[in-house]
Structure formats: C-alpha cells, structure tokens
C-alpha cells in the first residue's frame, strides 16, 4: 500500500470520528416502541386517520414477525426498544456555520469525489440556511416542475396536500406487513419523498433527493412513493456519492414505485453510508425494501444502484411485472471493502404476458468483505412468453474476501425463456502487471480494471452520476490492491 | 551500454531459475535469446520488467547506467523498457486505445512532456494500426478482449510502436503466428530498429530470425547463458538441437 493511499484511507475514516454530538432536544421521543409511540409520531405530524390506522396495523403485524436470518450477513441483535423513533428535524447547535469551519480533510475528500461546492456544505453538516446556492437552485427547480404538473415533495407534505393520492397508492406495492423491516418502517416512518408525474408528462429533469428542500434529516425510516401515470416518465436519483454522516445505526427504508400504462420509471441510487472503520466497528445497517410495480401495459421500471457504503446492506430492489409487455431492469454494482457485508440482488416477478426482465449484477469484494448476490426470477403460469436474462459477475481483490451467488428461479410457464450467466474473477496480478509494465500507476490501473468491470452498469446511470460513481469507486477501493 | 546484466540470480517459489546471467546490450543492437523450455527465458524477461513474484537473490542490472532493479515496474516502463508479453492478458471493459493513451501519457509525463491530445493520438494510432494491418475495430474493443492469439501479438507490437521504447524485450512474440502475421510483426519490430534503441527477442524458433536479423544470439540453459554467437548460431541450433550445440560447451 502506498503512503498516499494510506493518507486517503485515514482521512476517509477520520471524518466519522469527528462526528457531531447532538444534544437531545425536547422535540423527540424517548427510546422505545409501542402503540403510543406510533400514535405520537402520527399526531406530531398531524396525519389523517387513515394513516394512523395504517401505521398501527403495520405495528401490530410487526409484533408477530421474526427478524429474518436468511441473509449472508452477521450482526449483533438489534434492541428495538433502544431506538428513538421520532426526532424533529433540527440544526445542531454545534454545526459549522460555513465551509471555513469544516475539517479541511473532509473537504479534500469531497473535492476528490468531485462533489459540487454547495453540496459539500450540506454533507458536512453546515447549517442549511447558510447554503444559499442550493436553496436558489432548488427554487428554480420547483418552478419548472410545477409548470409541468409534476408533484415532488416530502412525504409529509404529500400527506397534507395530496392525501387521496397517498391513500390510494401507499402500501400497494410493498404492503405494510411485507417483511420485518418494511413493517417496522410502515409503523414508524418519519419522512421521505413523494413523486407524482401526471399522464403523458415526461418529467423535465432528473429528480434528486438533494433538490428537495428540507431533505436533510429524513431519518432512519424513510419512505418514498413514486407514481408515473399513463404515458409518464421520470428519472429519480437517490443518495449521494459523498460519505454521509448519520448517528442512526439502523436504516430501514421503503421505496414503492408504480408505473401505469406506457409509463417509465428509472430509479438510480448511489449509496455511501458510513461503512464502519477498517476493523468493522460501527457503520450503518441498511435494511431496505425497494419494489416497483409495472402495473400498466408496456410499462418499464429500471433500477440502477451503486452500493459502496454501510456496514451491512440488505437490499433487493425488485420489479413486479403485471402489465402485458412490461419490462423490469436491475443494474447493480456492489462494493464491499474491509469488513463490510453486502447481501443484495433483485426479484423479478413475471405475471403479465410477454414481460421481460434483465439483471446485471457486479459484485466487488476487497479486504475481509463478504459480498452476496441473491436474486429471484419467478415466472407465474400467466406469464406466457416471459423472458429473463441474468448476468452476475464477481470480482475479488485480495485473498481474504468472499463472493457468493444465490440465483433462484421458479418457472411455471413452459413458454418462458430464462438465461443465467455468472463469473468470478480475481483482479489479476496479471492484469495489474500488464498495466504497470505499460507505465501506468497501480492506482490508475486498479481504477481502470474496476471501472471496466462495472462499465455496463455505469452506462445506465445518468451521465453526471456515472462520473461521480466512478470517482467514488476509486476512493472506496483505494489501497485495496498493491 | 543500454543494458548490462551481471551475474543475475533469481528464484520463484523457492526454486532457483536464473543462476548467474550475464548479458550486455548496446543501443542499436538486436539480441536473440534462445533456449530449451524451462531454461529461464521468460523469467529473465519478467525479472527485467519488474514482476514482483520473483526474488532477486544476486547480481545487478543497469539500464542506461541506472540500477534497474531498484525501480518499480511502472518506472522501468516510463524509462523506456517495454515487455511484449508471451500471453497478453485480457482486461474486459477497458478500451484498448484508452489503455494505450494512458500508457503514452504516463511516459510523457515522466519525461516532462505535455500529454497528447485526443486528436493527435488518434492520428498516431491510426497510422500505426495501418502499418500493423489491424482493422479499425481495435479502436473500440477491450484490451485483448476476445482477441485471437495472433491479434494479441499484433496488439503488443502496436503498443510498442506507439510507446517507442529504448529497449524492447519481446517474449515469444512469434509463437502462434502464421507466416503472414509473422511478416507483419517482424516489419513492426524492424521499423523500430534505430541506433538509439535495442531489441531483445526471446524465441524458440530460428524462423523469426530470418525476418529480424539479430546481431547476437545467446543460448540460455539452466539459468545461464551458455553460448553466444552471431546469427549462424541460430542456424546451428536448428540443425543440431540444443543438446547437440550445448554438448560441445559442457
């Protein structure tokens, strides 16, 4: 390992040690979970009765469920009574007032990742009202969306302003009792994003959580609902390439997508939560339920994800292909370094006729990490002519990491076509030496080899995101070889 | 003296492979190293290029008077040492031309020269590809990805022509080539011959030396150069075999 990469590694680790200590303010609930807590959350947010009922139903169901243990991840039992389920968004008193007060090393990392200036401020925890840039950008943005008739707001605002839309779609893709973490989320979710694109409208810009005003601190139980009406299309970007600070260890988000006839939803994620230190201590547990339903004919839902963060990732963005000729896609790059554990993949449920799905999964493991692909392709008897193509490739860097692939297939219609390809390769000493012998530095060589490996996924990302993702990958894997 | 190898010893996995190699290569010369399988030819090439799997247990190597063994592989390359690989590796998804441009720029940067711009580079590589009779499709393909054996070797020589090394070590660049490809590859190597450069050919076959005429021929066996001579030595080897020729020495 070169001294340069050591610098960056220590720098990457360091920014978390300087985490912000937030005072417990009055506007938060004490740790613990029962029906009163669920009701209190709903009351604090002035929610209508239907939502309270829905939350309570989810909570009661959750009580009957067991935490899943089938994933290839290991962690100490979580004490759900030791978590505070509500705290109002707040600006910590000791947050830096401007970028000048932020640790220069942290800023150097952002610079290395190519994060725009205004975004750096937000990530570093600079008080939001000091970030003029982002506010003005976001305002321009809102005007443009309003003209197109696109609703893009926080989940709480949607509950207040569009309760009927929320009521008719919430939980229709991921039911409240879908799984342990989804049920928990349904009971206690704090906030999230809501998008509605009306019929025939092509959303005029990429929607990004970053541009949503008040997006900061949506908390550990985030809920997103995106609806593309007939003939509508939208591209949604979640997350950020920069490492995000968060004091909450458990994250259990739910994302629901609904695509009606001829609608298209493209959902791109770059996830870079704190992965824990180089010994595997700390780090976010990311237990996410993401599912899209191609409800209408000829609809299409495409998931693209670049997962580099979190100590544990448990995440299977899925597509339910109900509408005839509908299309589901899943493109994924999952990186696990040091002691990270990633168990991720997708489910493609083919219900409608001539439905098609494509799965491309690229797993990269380094250090002592475990990286698992888990995928299900299910073709129901009704799905005549359904087709699936799955490709899972794993790249191992170093001798102590591991990659696992669990592809499940259930084909109940004889006219369906299912193809699966899988490979595991090592970042070859040979490949590395070949590049070195051409005068290319080890760092550049590893970047080149890894991005070559991920190319098919990166090209699915919106352009700017793709560049950031590539930078992120090189920072995440710095020092992993050589 | 461009390259001077003195009493070089190297081992891998506890086994001595090079046991005292001595070789001097002057600028402008072409040397051929021949020898039976397992004699250490490829090891010598890899050791000179800086592969870390080998442990150097003795001896020295200087390149233009500098201690070559003290330099990491990438710096040797930037200083003008090129290895044409016996088995060029595939790097999926990495564009062939992108890698070559990165290589050229790394070398130029080390020499304090400005990087080539995209247009300039494309012109250069098109010209060299034409010379190597390679189709335009090589511009867009991944590094050696799905290349035939012959295409890989042509690609190695293409890289050499673009990088213009001072010393090119070509490890069995002729193996697996049909006669037409052999002529093209040889023409490529010959085009690089100039008073400031040298070429070391590692080969099994005399036939390559019909196209690239060497100044000196060496026989490497059991980790040592046991016999050196001019081109006639290669012909003698072909006529009498290694045992026949080396029997006289032993």
- Which of B49, B53, B94 is the closest to A452 by Cβ? B94
Q: What angle do the packed helices B149-163 and B179-192 form, to 10 degrees?
A: 10
pLDDT at A168 over 60: yes
Residues of B in contact with A444 (CB under 8 A): 102, 106
How many CB atoms are closer than 10 A to CB B3?
A: 23
Distance CA B243, CA B250 (A): 10
* Of residues A430, A452, A456, nearest to B89 (C-beta): A430
What DSSP string runs through B128-164?
A: HHHHTT--GGGGTSEETTT--HHHHHHHHHHHHHHH-
pLDDT tens-digit map of A274-292: 777 666 666 778 889 999 9
Least confident of A140-144, A150-154, A171-175: A140-144
How sure is the predictor about A113, in pLDDT bands with cuts at 50, 70 and 90? low
Distance CA A324, CA A297 (A): 5
Q: What is the pLDDT of residues B168-186, one digit of tens each?
A: 999 999 888 889 999 999 9
pLDDT recorded at residue B249: 54
pLDDT given at position A21 = 29
Residue A477 has pLDDT above 80, yes or no: no
pLDDT at A103: 61
Residue B103 has pLDDT above 60, yes or no: yes
Instruction: Please report the pLDDT score of residue A453 as a whole number.
Output: 86
Nearest CB to A452 within list B88, B93, B163: B93
Here the tokens at position B110 are: 């080390």
With a CB-CB cutoff of 8 Å, which residues 44-63 of chain B face chain A?
Answer: 49-51, 53
pLDDT in tens, A341-397: 888 899 999 999 999 999 999 888 888 888 888 899 999 999 999 999 999 888 888
Q: What is the pTM of this model?
A: 0.76
Question: Which of A258-267, A271-280, B14-23 has the least mean pLDDT?
Answer: A271-280
Domain, as residue range, for B52: 3-249
Task: Look over chain B and give the mean of its residue pLDDT values, rounded to a whole number.
Answer: 92
A428 touches B: beta carbon within 8 Å: yes
Q: Do A441 and B74 touch (CB under 8 A)?
A: yes
Res A115: pLDDT? 62
CATH of the domain at B147: 3.40.50.300
Pick the residue from chain B with its C-alpha nearest to A453.
B93
Q: How confident is the model at residue A195 (pLDDT cuts 50, 70, 90)?
A: very high
pLDDT at A9 over 70: no
Token code pair at residue A93: 């008193």
Residue matched to tokens 């949506």:
A218
Residues of chain A above pLDDT 90, percent: 37
How open is the CA angle A315-A316-A319, to the nearest 5 degrees? 150
Q: What is the mean pLDDT of residues B86-102?
A: 91
- Buried residues in B12-33 as b, exposed as e (16+ CB within 10 A): eeeebbbbebebebeeebbbbb
Q: How many CB atoms lie within 10 A of CB A48?
A: 15
Q: How confident is the model at residue A242 (pLDDT cuts 50, 70, 90)?
A: low
What pLDDT does A1 receive?
34
Which pLDDT band holds residue B226 (cuts at 50, 70, 90)?
A: very high
CB-based contact, A454 to chain B, within 8 Å: yes
| Residue of chain A whose alpha carbon sits nearest to that of B83 | A437
- At how many degrees (to 10) do helices B149-163 and B118-131 cross? 130
d(CA B126, CA B149): 21
Interface residue B146 vs chain A (CB under 8 A): no
The CA distance from A67 to A181, in Å, is 8
- Lowest-pLDDT choice from A18-32, B165-179, B231-245: A18-32
Does residue B31 surpass a pLDDT of 70?
A: yes
Q: Sort out which chain B residues have CB atoms less than 8 A from A438's CB and list them.
A: 77, 99-100, 102-103, 106, 159, 163
Average pLDDT over residues A213-239: 78
How far is B29 from chain A, CA to nearest CA, in Å?
A: 22
Comparing alpha-carbon positions, the chain A residue that sits nearest to B107 is A439
Residues 6+ apart with CB under 8 A from B227: B218, B219, B233, B245, B246, B249
Instruction: Report yes or no: B97 at the A interface, CB cutoff 8 Å.
Output: no
| Whether the predicted pLDDT of A210 surpasses 90 | no
Q: Which chain B residue's Cα is nearest to A482?
A: B52
Q: Do B74 and A430 touch (CB under 8 A)?
A: no
Q: What is the pLDDT of residues B135-157, one digit of tens each?
A: 888 888 999 988 988 899 999 99
Where is pLDDT greater, at B242 or A115? B242
Q: Which chain B residue is nearest to residue A439, measuring alpha carbons?
A: B74
Smallest CA–CA distance, residue A308 to chain B, in Å, is 20
Give yes or no for residue A136 having a pLDDT over 70.
no
- Which segment of A8-22, A360-374, A451-465 scores lowest on mean pLDDT? A8-22
Residues in chain A: 482
Q: What is the pLDDT of residue A83?
A: 79
The set of residues, in sequence order, having a beta carbon less than 8 Å from that of A338 and lying 6+ positions away, is A275, A276, A277, A278, A279, A280, A366, A367, A368, A369
Question: Can you read off the two tokens belonging to residue A434?
Answer: 């070949």
User: How much is the ipTM here?
Assistant: 0.95
Partner A contacted by B102 (CB < 8 A):
yes
**What confidence tier does A191 reach under pLDDT thresholds 50, 70, 90?**
confident
**A467: CB partners within 8 A, 6+ apart:** A114
Q: Which residue of B has its CA nearest to A431?
A: B89
DSSP state of A28: B
pLDDT (tens digit, 9 = 90+) per residue, A306-316? 888 777 888 89
Candidate from B91, B94, B107 with C-beta closest to A439? B107
For tokens 């989940």, the residue is A155
pLDDT of residue A102: 62
**What is the percent of chain B with per-residue pLDDT over 70, rounded to a whole number?**
99
What is the dihedral sign for C-alpha B103, B105, B109, B111?
Answer: positive
- How confident is the model at residue A472, as a pLDDT? 74
| Cβ-contact A275, A337 below 8 angstroms | yes
Residues of B in contact with A436 (CB under 8 A): 50, 72-74, 77
Interacting residues of A430 by C-beta distance below 8 A, sequence separation 6+: B89
Looking at the 3D structure of chain B, how many domains does it have?
1
List CB contacts (< 8 A) between B107 and chain A.
439
Neighbours of A482 (CB within 10 A): 18
pLDDT at A458 over 90: no
Using a CB–CB cutoff of 8 Å, tell me whether B89 touches chain A.
Answer: yes
Of A428, A430, A438, the CB nearest to B103: A438
Asked if pLDDT for residue B44 goes beyond 50, the answer is: yes
Q: Which residues of B touch A454 (CB under 8 A)?
A: 93
With cut-offs at 50, 70 and 90, classify the pLDDT of residue B89: very high
A159 CB contacts (<8 Å, ≥6 apart)?
A45, A47, A48, A51, A166
């Amino acid at each position: 390992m070169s001294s340069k990469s050591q610098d960056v590694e220590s720098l990457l680790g360091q920014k978390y040690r300087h985490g912000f200590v937030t005072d417990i303010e009055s506007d938060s609930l004490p740790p613990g979970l029962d029906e009163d807590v669920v009701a209190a959350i709903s009351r604090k947010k002035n929610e209508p009765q239907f939502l309270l009922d829905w939350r309570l139903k989810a909570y009661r169901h959750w009580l009957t469920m067991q935490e899943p243990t089938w994933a290839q991840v290991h962690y100490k039992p979580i004490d759900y009574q030791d978590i505070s389920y509500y705290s109002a968004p707040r600006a910590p008193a000791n947050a830096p007032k401007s970028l000048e007060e932020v640790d220069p090393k942290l800023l150097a990392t952002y610079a290395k990742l190519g994060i725009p200036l205004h975004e750096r401020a937000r990530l570093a925890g600079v008080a939001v009202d000091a970030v003029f840039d982002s506010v003005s950008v976001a305002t321009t943005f809102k005007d443009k969306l309003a003209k197109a008739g696109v609703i893009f707001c926080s989940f709480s605002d949607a509950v207040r302003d569009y309760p009927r839309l929320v009521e008719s779609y919430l939980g229709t893709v991921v039911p409240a009792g879908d799984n342990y973490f989804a049920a928990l989320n349904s009971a206690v979710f704090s906030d999230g994003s809501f998008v509605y694109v009306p019929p025939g409208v092509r959303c005029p810009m990429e929607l990004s959580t970053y541009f949503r005003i008040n997006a900061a601190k949506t908390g550990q139980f985030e809920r997103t609902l995106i609806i593309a009406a007939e003939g509508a299309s939208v591209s949604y970007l979640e997350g950020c390439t920069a490492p995000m600070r968060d004091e909450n260890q458990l994250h259990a988000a739910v994302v629901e997508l609904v695509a009606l006839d001829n609608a298209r939803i493209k959902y791109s994620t770059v996830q870079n939560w704190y992965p824990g230190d180089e010994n595997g201590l700390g780090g976010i547990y990311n237990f996410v339920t993401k599912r899209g339903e191609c409800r209408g004919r000829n609809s299409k839902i495409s998931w693209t994800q670049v997962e580099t963060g979190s100590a544990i990732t448990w995440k299977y963005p899925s597509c339910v292909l109900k509408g005839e000729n509908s299309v589901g896609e899943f493109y994924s790059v999952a990186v696990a370094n040091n002691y990270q554990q990633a168990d991720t993949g997708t489910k493609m449920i083919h219900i409608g006729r001539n439905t098609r799905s494509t799965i491309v999964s690229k797993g990269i493991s380094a250090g002592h990490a475990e990286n698992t692909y888990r995928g299900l392709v299910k073709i129901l008897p009704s799905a005549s002519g359904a087709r699936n193509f799955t490709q899972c490739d794993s790249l191992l860097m170093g001798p102590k990491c591991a990659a696992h692939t669990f592809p499940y297939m259930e084909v109940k219609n004889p006219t369906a076509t299912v193809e699966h390809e899988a490979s595991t390769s090592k970042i070859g000493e040979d490949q590395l030496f070949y590049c070195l012998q051409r005068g290319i530095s080890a760092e550049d060589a590893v970047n080149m080899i890894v991005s070559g490996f991920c190319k098919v996924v990166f090209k699915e990302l919106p352009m700017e995101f793709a560049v950031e993702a590539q930078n992120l990958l090189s920072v995440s894997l710095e020092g992993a070889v050589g | 003296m461009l390259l001077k190898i003195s009493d070089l010893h190297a081992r891998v996995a506890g086994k001595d492979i090079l046991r005292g190699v001595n070789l001097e290569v002057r600028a402008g010369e072409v040397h051929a190293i021949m020898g039976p399988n397992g004699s250490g030819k490829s090891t010598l090439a890899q050791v000179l290029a800086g592969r870390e799997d080998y442990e150097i247990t003795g001896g020295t190597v200087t390149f233009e008077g500098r201690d070559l063994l003290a330099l990491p592989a990438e710096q040797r390359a930037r200083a003008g040492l090129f290895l044409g690989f016996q088995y060029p590796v595939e790097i999926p998804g990495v564009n062939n031309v992108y890698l070559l441009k990165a290589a050229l720029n790394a070398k130029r940067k080390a020499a304090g020269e400005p990087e080539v711009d995209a247009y300039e580079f494309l012109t250069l590589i098109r010209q060299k590809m034409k010379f190597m009779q390679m189709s335009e499709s090589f511009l867009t393909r991944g590094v050696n990805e799905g290349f035939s054996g012959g295409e890989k070797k042509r690609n190695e020589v293409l890289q050499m022509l673009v990088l213009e090394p001072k010393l090119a070590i070509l490890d069995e660049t002729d193996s697996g080539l049909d006669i037409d490809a052999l002529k093209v590859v040889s023409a490529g190597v010959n085009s690089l011959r100039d008073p400031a450069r040298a070429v070391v050919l590692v080969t099994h076959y005399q036939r390559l030396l019909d196209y690239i005429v060497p100044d000196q021929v060496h026989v490497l066996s059991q980790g040592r150069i046991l016999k050196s001579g001019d081109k006639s030595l290669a012909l003698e080897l072909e006529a009498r075999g290694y045992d026949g020729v080396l029997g006289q020495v032993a």
